[in-house]
Structure 1
């Protein structure tokens, strides 16, 4: 089913700018097919009546097909400009469910051609958005590719972990220069006492500028922390995560961890062999009955259960001597816990290290630190560390329920055991 390009005009979404990421929402569980133009809806209504009465399908003429595809794409970009294959299939299925007359005879799914057409139409639409300067698309233009990497498909920067606002447009009336001036004013604002509201307002307004920097330039953590010190506070990590995903970070992560805790404990207790012994060792401190300890033990046990080393997530040090300092500085991604003595219940310090830099410290407990680390992965657009990729996949897709429909075999096995 070949895609027909609409040459008449750029759609209202592109021309008015209402595709801006400020209007974005998470991809829906059920895609709602929008109302098409009046004449298109009239033709489809008549064709649906014929289909119900005589099972005769409609082969739409180019103008009708173009109206349908335009309407679908305008609805899609309310959520994202890069849709997955599965999401394209969801759109096509929703179309023939609402308008059965468009079912394709001979197709296994009844909508394979529509899926292909929508995919090409969306690609063409991205070309229009690129000309209009939509940052989510221009970030992938060939002129921004590294030298020697001229392929359009090389290193495409797009949402991969359920980011809703991946690379948003600047606020109306703001320019790169005005936002840079606001960033500079933030450097002094964060040093003032009782200035939280002013910092919060400016961080909100400079969000798009900050995201462009993170997505396009992939700055070193140390440099980014110097430019945006306000981001490396607990309240702003929570706020930035919500700006990016529309999901509350701390409350969701902690509540889901508590909801699954009993099932997780049962999973760990039922495991035998060498893995079972390792899990038992990790879970031993739970006997103290402290909620924070319980949460920390469960998170470490998740790592172990998935075949990963919990020391790569949380590393404990007794005293802060030169050896400990060196080990922390050599940590790429992780959480450190410093105790006065090995048997100490309350740690002297708990913090997060990224690229050898302490970015957060004096955190309440390990579970809270893990939550903040997960949030910083989104705020800095960092890839999950290879040695903890399954652990973070479980945090994202099972605990936080973000893109949970596509799991690795190991994460899927974990989920099946959790819900059995």
Structure 2
């Protein structure tokens, strides 16, 4: 059914630019991992999860090497972000640390992407989540270890909790990325370069034109100079 209604859904998104809450009410089946993954492939012909995680893992060693050379305030923040990797070999933790460190390396704040709360925060965290226009929320136990599963992980758009119970931050990042395509959204200015890197370097979508910041990432990490400045 979702395959058959795809053209109608795309026309509605592109023509009417509906509010997220209205679109979720009209097409509730879309807002799950399976259907979002399928929708992304309908739009791009690219397999979302396999492509994203295989490329992120393949580039991890180079990214970590470059992150390790960063100095000053950025370098200290990256070092702090990467610390859980030395405490656990959990792949989800490694991926989360690399994504957050990439934000910092590109002069963006990972807190604008991932907002973390303790399970004791209660109503205050719920209110803060509902004020989020674009991002991921994570609820953790107060004394959680790096490899402990969060209590909840989800995606917020326009103050609407569109996905929850995702299990880990990397999956939430992928789903947020897919929602940008499914809902024809723009990247927020404060995360422009991070999502450009995810789109053009990791997912290799429209990757021939990169901002100068991400050209530098390619040159340092992958020794590639094939990208043209936007």
What TM bracket, shorter-length normalisation?
over 0.9
Name stretches of at least 5 consecutive residues in structure 2 with no aligned partner.
Answer: 224-230
Task: Tell me the distance in 1 between the aligned counterparts of 2:74 and 2:211.
Answer: 20
2:144 partner SS: coil
Q: How does 1:15-414 map to 2 (within 5 A)?
A: 202-287=1-86, 288-319=88-119, 320-344=121-145, 345-414=148-217
Task: Tell me the distance in 2 between the aligned counterparts of 1:302 and 1:236.
Answer: 28
TM (norm. structure 1) is 0.51
Task: Tell me the distance in 2 between the aligned counterparts of 1:314 and 1:334.
Answer: 6
Per-residue CA deviations over 1:337-374 (Å, capped at 9, x if unaligned) read: 10121434221000111111111110021111101110
- Structure of higher CA gyration radius: 1
The higher-RCO structure (CA 8 Å, 6+ apart) is: 2
Task: Tell me the distance in 1 between the aligned counterparts of 2:143 and 2:70.
Answer: 28
- Distance apart, 1:290 and its partner CA: 1.2
Task: Tell me the distance in 1 between the aligned counterparts of 2:20 and 2:81.
Answer: 31
- Distance apart, 1:329 and its partner CA: 0.5
Task: Tell me the distance in 2 between the aligned counterparts of 1:412 and 1:403.
Answer: 13
Task: Tell me the distance in 1 between the aligned counterparts of 2:218 and 2:2.
Answer: 37
Conservation of the 8 A alpha-carbon contact between 2:31 and 2:163 = yes
1:414 partner SS: helix
Task: Tell me the distance in 1 between the aligned counterparts of 2:133 and 2:153.
Answer: 16
Name stretches of at least 5 consecutive residues in structure 1 with no aligned partner.
Answer: 1-201
Task: Tell me the distance in 2 between the aligned counterparts of 1:343 and 1:308.
Answer: 26
Task: Tell me the distance in 1 between the aligned counterparts of 2:199 and 2:92.
Answer: 21
Conservation of the 8 A alpha-carbon contact between 2:149 and 2:167 = no
Task: Tell me the distance in 2 between the aligned counterparts of 1:229 and 1:271.
Answer: 44
- Two-structure CA RMSD over aligned residues (Å): 0.9
- Distance apart, 1:322 and its partner CA: 1.7
Per-residue CA deviations over 1:307-357 (Å, capped at 9, x if unaligned) read: 000011111100251211111011011011101214342210001111111
Task: Tell me the distance in 2 between the aligned counterparts of 1:203 and 1:210.
Answer: 9
Task: Tell me the distance in 2 between the aligned counterparts of 1:210 and 1:232.
Answer: 13
Task: Tell me the distance in 1 between the aligned counterparts of 2:158 and 2:101.
Answer: 25
Per-residue CA deviations over 1:102-139 (Å, capped at 9, x if unaligned) read: xxxxxxxxxxxxxxxxxxxxxxxxxxxxxxxxxxxxxx
TM (norm. structure 2) is 0.93
Higher strand residue share: 2
1:204 partner SS: coil
Task: Tell me the distance in 2 between the aligned counterparts of 1:304 and 1:218.
Answer: 31
